[in-house]
């Protein structure tokens, strides 16, 4: 998945969501929270798209396996 393990991406999203809910001061972050929201949203969209593509690919593989076993 973009060359990044799924677990790492999920942890990154969780961290971003936590940061979005906080004021950012605890992290020493000087980025406006509103600036991070589109990034977090886009990252979640990319992951959903990737999961859909994986699902489609798995369905195709199952179909090819079924056709090949006849």
Residue found by looking up tokens 């991406």 in the block = 9
The domain locations on the chain are 6-65
What's the mean pLDDT in 42-69?
88
CB 15 within 8 A of CB 8: no
Give the per-residue pLDDT at 60. 92
What's the mean pLDDT in 28-37?
69
Residue found by looking up tokens 């369905």 in the block = 59
Give the predicted TM-score (pTM) of the model.
0.43
Closest CA to 55 of 47, 45, 44: 47
What average pLDDT does the structure give for the chain?
78
Give the per-residue pLDDT at 1. 42
Q: Is residue 25 scored above 60 in pLDDT? A: no
């Amino acid at each position: 998945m973009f060359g990044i393990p799924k677990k790492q991406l999920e942890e990154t999203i969780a961290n971003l969501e936590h940061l979005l809910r906080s004021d950012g001061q605890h992290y020493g972050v000087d980025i406006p929270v509103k600036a991070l929201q589109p990034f977090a949203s886009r990252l979640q969209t990319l992951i959903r798209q990737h999961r859909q593509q994986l699902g489609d690919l798995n369905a195709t593989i199952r179909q090819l396996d079924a056709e090949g076993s006849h």
